[in-house]
Chains A and B, each alone.
Chain A
Amino acid sequence: MTKYDVLIVGGGSVGCAVAYALSRYDLKAAVAEKELDVGMGTSGRNSGVVHAGFNNRPGSLMAKLCVEGNEGFEALCKTLDIPYKKTGKLIVGYDEADHQALIKLKEQGEKNGVKGLEIIDGAAIRAIEPDLPASWAMLSRNTAVFNPFLYSIHLAEASAQNGVQYYLNSPVTAVEATEEGYRVQAGDHTLACRTLINSAGLFADKVSAMAGDPSFTIYPCRGEYYLLDKGTLKMPVYPVPRPGVGGLGVHLTVTVDGNILIGPSADYIEDHEDYSTTEPILGQLRREAMILLPTLNMRTVIGTYAGVRPKLVKKGEANFGDFVIERSPKAKHLINLIGIESPGITASMPIARMVLDILSEDTELVEKPDFVPTYRGIPPFAELSRAEQRALIEEDPDYGDVVCRCETVTRAQVKRALHNPIGATGVIAVKNRTRSTMGRCNGGYCFQRIVELLLSEGKAPQDIDLKRRGDRPLLGYVKGGQA
């Protein structure tokens, strides 16, 4: 049984941020994640916006950590090679009531310490986005967008480079209290740890209960999205927040790559991992998006997806649910991170710093001399200059073999993604690291090429996982056998 000082349950953005923060210190740390890769839960199913912090209730942890997170986000992305773009954002309204609501929102933001907020009129709006019909808007200059997949992945890979062990495909199913901490069953592994950090997202209530603190119930609340091909939108556009609506209202977002998102809706559901999209909601998304931007071209739809918020308040309950970041009052070796919904990714690094503070109460944190803070991911071939592309091909001919035509991803990138430092497997590991299969042809071109690469590396077709454990899309060979 391997012993750790700290075991983190859940490799989402929060768990990975904690792992990265911990990897600076001389500790034995590990992450147990049930999926084939990190960032497969809520952290890979959201709007990908670095929030500024004006939406959150003054005085709340959410407000404080969001503002802090926003301030450090750009530097963090630079250090870890995470695509980031400071786009700014518009919150738009149409009449005097909306105008007044925007003024209130600005006041709330300023109370939270948010900078760069400004109320602008229709003409100023159209100078930024010519096709928006809104009459009033609050421009938030510090709002940004980033690549949410690479956020968790690069935090994880950077922490792995500094010694954190990753157990992927390892759901935590049993936690047993021992003298000096816990014994944990994570997939095929039995692990011991002194401190258990629970960042299990939608299942954080269950993990907390396993570890001796049954105080929480998470209510899943789904948000559905449309994903559109690249368009001309320059920044996210949100409606004025309406009271009583969970979430921030259906908005338009640009991704770092220029694709447009419509969503999310907000509906309580039964099953925590029901990521279905549904026709009535998609209809609602189309209608609300057309109000924001009547010229939107729905023929450029690439797909739909959904994310689920881990809410601590029930449907219809007006209570405000703040982040729970605490050493459990019921279990002294357990640090709980529960109810981390939006703006959880924005706030993930400040959350990690809070965890360090809590951990330091009973664990000595000594900095390692050989800690490497920076990380370089797989070169995004498509975004490089021709000269840089030429140099890469010279270095490795596999950069001259284009596997994904929509996103111009090369064989060299796919190979690096398959042989990543945390041991993530499945076609999904390639998708999340390279954008292969995410383009307008939905993998029609590259899926077969990725499969061929896996076969050439000796994998049998029936052993190729797609997205999740046991999700094996290919049956094997036809009669007559291997080609």
Chain B
Amino acid sequence: MERADLIVIGGGPAGLAAAVRAKEKGVDRVLLLERNPVLGGILNQCIHDGFGVLRFGSAMSGPEYAARFIQMARDAGVETVTGAMVVELSPDKKVTYITPQGLFEVQAKAVILSTGCRERTRGALAVPGNRPAGVYTAGVVQYLMNMRNIAFGKNVVIMGSGDIGLIMARRMTLEGARVHCVLEKLPFCSGLPRNVRQCLEDFDIPLCLAETVKEIHGDDHITHVITAKVDEKGRFIPGSERTIPCDVLVLSVGLIPENELAKACGIEMDPVTGGALVDGDLMTSVPGVFSCGNGLHVHDLVDLVSEEGERAAEHAAAYLEGAANKPMVPVTVSGGIRYVLPRQLTAGEDGYLSMRVMLPGRDQKLTVTAGGRTLVSRKMKRVMPSEMIRLKVKDVPACEQVEVSLV
């Protein structure tokens, strides 16, 4: 059987950064498998700007950002196969993939999963009503509009305030459609504040909070939706219904990490993030299999995705060199934190924590303590569920546990 030292599954920004860094770290044969005909992942359809501000200090479009990494991968000697759908990862790290050239099996010594995420759909939310045409997820609209120049409709309602929906509100407006509103069930927006300003406010598109679609109508094609306000418990408030005529309903109701390969491989999952459970080295419950990017947990900035990919590659390289098992310290959370990742940090090394809050808040304090000693303390002027918080913990001490708290 064909062999590789490291196989990276998924050629989006996470996988590209991981493959490049692995080569830089001296890993011999790095094979990057991507099911699409081109590398770059979701970035290819993101023709708006705003990528790379943290990393390159300039706001690029998605394809521009991807192009830099694709060039780096080429220069570094990463072997890539596109049009390659990975259909199986076995616990002993045999990877099976399909391309028009055939079905291939490759034995890897280490694997990095960087498979990105998929969109939640109406079906999954099971909005009652009949099922007329004209209901799409924002990513589908984005792909067909940006990559194939397809026009969808003239009267648009957007359900959910995720970033892709906000961006498509602007895009569809620019293409001459009337976007009636963006509806958000929660009392706060789930997209980034900058997208609310640039994509909605600048175009006078109302953002209707605590309101959602109650019914979808239309025999063959959608004709209108009935919306209603919801209370704190998410129940419809009787009498608050509105009828909004539309020929397109765009759903932007969240992203779910894509982990079918990981699940079928028996990798332990985290029900909160939807991604794999990883340790301080971003290694999953299957030794030698690492995870990063949107496939691990949903990010809002690509710069941080690339960085996470690089860290996964560094740990994979160390694993391949046979680095000794290091002691891990469990991480616990308290206060308004929805999740922290990873749930373990490596003692004696710098640790990187990503977390999201449950609710928006102001003037809070984020602290990381170990055995009564404060390791990090940061004033948080404003926290938002849409904005991932990142923390570096210098030189994690060997201790019982590290506690993260936001109060």
Residue ranges of A at the interface with B (Cβ–Cβ < 8 Å): 226-227, 273-279, 282, 301-306, 386, 389-390, 393-394, 397-398, 400-402, 405-406, 408, 440-445, 447-448, 451-452, 455, 461, 466-483
Q: Which residues of A contact B383 (CB under 8 A)?
A: none
Chain B contacts to A: CB under 8 angstroms? 35, 83, 85, 87, 96, 98-103, 118-119, 121-124, 126, 128-134, 136-137, 139-140, 143-145, 147-154, 175-176, 219-221, 260
Q: Which residues of A contact B140 (CB under 8 A)?
A: 443-444, 447-448
A275 touches B150 (CB 8 A): no
Given contacts A282-B128, A402-B98, A471-B221, contact A301 B133 (CB under 8 A): no
When distances are taken between beta carbons in the complex, the residues of chain A under 8 Å from B100 are: 393, 397-398, 400-401
Residues of A within 8 A of B118 (CB): 441, 444-445
Given A302-B123, A476-B151; A386-B176 close (CB under 8 Å): no
Residues of A within 8 A of B151 (CB): 461, 474-478
- Rounded to whole angstroms, the CA-CA distance of A274 and B98 in the bound complex is 42
B387 → chain A closest CB, angstroms = 25
Q: Given A301-B124, A448-B143, A478-B150, do A467 and B133 touch, yes or no (CB 8 Å)? A: yes
Q: Which chain B positions have C-beta within 8 A of A476? A: 150-151
Judging by beta carbons under 8 Å apart, are A451 and B150 in contact?
A: yes
B147: chain A residues at CB < 8 Å are 483
Residues of B near A475 (CB, < 8 A) are: 150-154
What residues of chain A lie closer than 8 Å to B131, measured between beta carbons? 275, 303, 305
Given A455-B148, A474-B150, A483-B148, residue A389 in contact with residue B35 (CB < 8 A): no
Given contacts A394-B102, A401-B83, contact A471 B133 (CB under 8 A): yes
> Are the C-beta atoms of B128 and A442 separated by less than 8 Å?
no
Which one of A393, A472, A483 lies within 8 Å of B221 (CB-CB)?
Answer: A472
B38 to chain A, nearest CB (A): 14
Chain B residues, Cβ within 8 Å of A480: 149
Best-surrounded residue of A306, A471, A482 (most CB of chain B within 10 A): A471
In angstroms, Cα B107 to Cα A338, docked, is: 60
Cβ-defined contact, A302 with B133, below 8 A: no
Cross-chain contact of A405 among B35, B119, B122, B139 (Cβ < 8 A): B35
Expressed in whole angstroms, the minimum distance between the Cβ of B281 and any Cβ of chain A is 28
Q: A276 touching B134 by the CB < 8 A rule?
A: no
Q: Could you tell me if A405 and B85 are in contact, using CB atoms closer than 8 angstroms?
A: yes
On chain B, the residues within 8 Å of A277 by CB distance are: 126, 128-130
When distances are taken between beta carbons in the complex, the residues of chain B under 8 Å from A441 are 118-119, 121
Contact yes or no, A276 B129, CB < 8 A: yes
Chain B residues with CB under 8 A of A304: 123, 126, 128
Contact indicator B103/A389 (Cβ below 8 Å): yes
10 closest pairs, A vs B, by CB? Answer: A303-B123, A397-B100, A471-B220, A442-B121, A400-B100, A402-B85, A276-B130, A483-B149, A466-B133, A442-B123
Chain B residue numbers with a CB within 8 Å of A400 are 83, 98-103
Cβ contact within 8 Å between B124 and A481: no
A390 touches B102 (CB 8 A): yes
Q: How far is the CA of A470 from the CA of B118 in the complex (A)?
A: 30
Complex: how many Å from CA A275 to CA B218? 11
With contact pairs A400-B102, A473-B134, A474-B151 given, residues A444 and B119 touching in the complex (Cβ less than 8 Å): yes
Distance in Å: Cβ of B402 to nearest Cβ of chain A: 31
Residue of A nearest to B85 (CB): A402
Known: A306-B130, A483-B148, A483-B149. 19 other contacts (CB 8 A): A277-B129, A277-B130, A278-B128, A282-B126, A303-B122, A303-B126, A389-B103, A398-B100, A400-B83, A400-B100, A401-B100, A402-B85, A402-B98, A442-B121, A442-B123, A442-B137, A444-B140, A473-B221, A478-B151
Is A397's CB under 8 angstroms from B101's CB?
yes
Chain A residue at minimal CB-CB distance from B115? A405
Query: Which of B85, B126, B145 has its CB near the most chain A CB atoms (within 10 A)?
Result: B126
Using CB atoms, name the residue of chain B closest to A466.
B133
| Known interface pairs A275-B131, A303-B123; A452-B148 also in contact (CB < 8 Å) | yes
> Which residue of the partner chain, among B126, B129, B175, contacts A479 with CB atoms under 8 Å?
B175
CA distance A275 to B131 in the complex (A): 8
Bound-state Cα–Cα, A337 to B123, Å: 35
**How far apart are the CA atoms of A277 and B127 in the complex, in Å?**
8
Residues in B with CB closer than 8 Å to A227 are: 123
Given A275-B131, A452-B148, A393-B103 contact (CB < 8 Å): yes
Closest chain A residue, CB of each to CB of B137: A444
Q: Quick one: closest B residue to A452, CB to CB?
A: B148
Task: State the Cβ distance, A226 to closest chain B Cβ, in Å.
Answer: 7
A335 to chain B, nearest CB (A): 31
